[in-house]
Amino acid sequence: MRVNAIAAGFSTSQFPAHSYTFSMTTAPVCGWKLENAARRCGALRIAGLDEVGRGPMFGPVVAAAVILPKSCRLQGLTDSKQLTEKQRNAFDAAIRDCAVAWAVAVVDVETIDRINIRRASLLAMRMAVEQLAKAPDDLLPDYLLIDGRDTIDWPCPQQAVVQGDARSVSIAAASVLAKVFRDRLLVEFDAIYPGYGLARHKGYCVAEHLEALRRLGPTPLHRKSFGPVAQRMLFE
């Protein structure tokens, strides 16, 4: 998906948004605590948001938004990075099956290079919520739980949660959908750009990828704003 411009949105300053930094002395527990707190404040349709692909030097950034029903049971769900590929694929199917609504959005490399990866990640999450907003009015999210320290430009109460994908079932669900989608996309790109090992490392800056970049040079889907790619382009 190519993004040519970011549409002007609503300011969230009129809605209270809270960012929490949790203690790292104990391991986070993935559950419904944040969702239940939002429901006690009157929220009915709580969407979890997460992105995948901020760190790689290749390929798009992907975000997902998921609204789960209170009756949903996803035993063992947590941060997608802590799950095996088999577990992620199983949860991906289960989440799509039980979710009230879900959406995945992609922001391409050109946009990442133009506006920077942080803004592109927030844009991807906003785009995912925009897709949810195309649903009937009774499915629109009225509260957002967002992984990380940033909220997005969207007119409803929202909460940024550090390590949110390991604390909130809704955010963890979004984490799984985004990662499975991006990982499968990178497997397809591996066939288009052989020799880089994309199917294995998913575009991250591992030794295999850095060596392939040195030897083969960048592809059109390498992020030119990322240091290793920018340095390699100096020699072309």
Q: What is the CATH number of the domain that holds 88?
A: 3.30.420.10
Task: Please tell me the predicted confidence (pLDDT) of residue 236.
Answer: 64
pLDDT digits (tens, 9 = 90+) for 164-179: 999 999 999 999 999 9
Residue 66 lies in a domain: yes
Tell me the helix, strand and coil percentages in the chain, rounded to 5: 40, 15, 40
Residue 203 belongs to a domain: no
Residue 77 lies in a domain: yes
Range of the domain at 112: 17-192
CB atoms within 10 A of CB 154: 23
How many domains is the chain partitioned into structurally?
A: 1
Q: Examine residue 6 and state whether it is found in any structural domain, yes or no.
A: no
Q: What six digits make up the tokens of 222?
A: 């390498």
pLDDT of residue 234: 79
Q: What is the pLDDT at residue 27? A: 77
Q: Tens of pLDDT along 70-85?
A: 989 899 999 999 999 9
Please report whether residue 226 resides in a domain: no
Mean pLDDT, to the nearest integer, of 191-207?
98
Measured between alpha carbons, how far is 74 from 94 in angstroms, rounded to an integer?
A: 8
Q: For the purposes of burial, counting CB atoms within 10 Å of the CB of 225, is it exposed (0-12), middle (13-18) or buried (19 or more)?
A: middle
Residue 236 lies in a domain: no
Within a domain: 200? no
pTM, entire model: 0.88
Say whether pLDDT at 18 is over 70.
Answer: no
Asked if residue 94 belongs to a domain, the reply is: yes
